[in-house]
Amino acid sequence: MPYNIWCGGCNSMIAKGVRFNAEKKQVGNYYSTKIWSFTMKSACCKHEIIIQTDPKNCEYVIVSGAQRKTEEFDIEDAETFALPADEERGKLADPFYRLEHQEEDLQKKKEAEPLLVRLQRVSDSRHADDYTLNKALRARLRNQNKRVAEEEVASKRLGLGIRLLPASSEDSASASKVKFSSKFERNRKDKRAAINAASIFPESSLGSAKKRLELESKRRKIEATAASTLLTGKFKPSSFSSSSVSANGLKGVGVVSRRR
């Protein structure tokens, strides 16, 4: 696309430089130059667009299917020069017209001269001594590299994988506002947590229950050891072991001894 256009089908913009698969054909001649026509379809709505070449004005003309987008801009914002129109170009060829407007051009030059002179002085002062500028730049780079190396060493000493920036007044002010909890507050929190985790029952009942569980576990261990010794036949059952072992267990042991 040679310039920005508005699609005639969906009214969407097609930017300059977009490529199309177009049908090319000759529709006429301008003297010995051929006039070509390009027929294409827009990608947004498949609307047919026809564009022709204009050898007389050295541009492209939209025949149908689209409309050229008119773009206006301010000369000062774009930082460009205003080109004279066709009528002005014809007048510039007239010597009397140039003589009349020569004074205006000189006045514009005088008004713009102080600004140009200041810009030239600034440019000369910056680039007058190349050696001094290069020396100052290299010194600044050396100081910067030295500071970066020191910061990397300090971060490695602290066991950090990132480079810490130098301290500033803002960091000091924000760090002074941070308040950590004291030892008294930590102890109070621990006591409250212990109270919340404790049982609501009295300690006497808990102690008796623990003792009863311990005695029960000891009794079970004694019974298990007595039964294992009887099965192996190492010694005869005593009165204590016979009383602790159940009747069913003793009958089973007697049956085993008879079979032997």
pTM of the full predicted structure?
Answer: 0.33
Largest pairwise CA distance in the chain = 152
Domain residue extents for the chain: 5-72
Alpha carbon distances (Å) from 89 to 94, 99, 159: 9, 15, 74
Provide the residue-wise pLDDT of the chain in tens; the chain has 260 residues: 888 999 988 888 888 888 889 999 999 999 999 999 999 998 888 889 999 999 988 899 999 999 988 877 666 666 666 666 666 666 667 777 777 777 787 887 777 777 778 788 888 877 777 788 888 889 999 999 999 898 888 888 888 888 877 778 888 888 888 877 677 777 888 888 877 877 676 655 555 666 777 777 777 777 777 766 766 665 444 444 444 444 444 444 444 444 44
Whether 9 contacts 47, CB under 8 Å? yes
92-122 burial, b for 16+ CB within 10 Å, e for fewer? eeeeeeeeeeeeeeeeeeeeeeeeeeeeeee
Closest CA to 148 of 170, 167, 165: 165
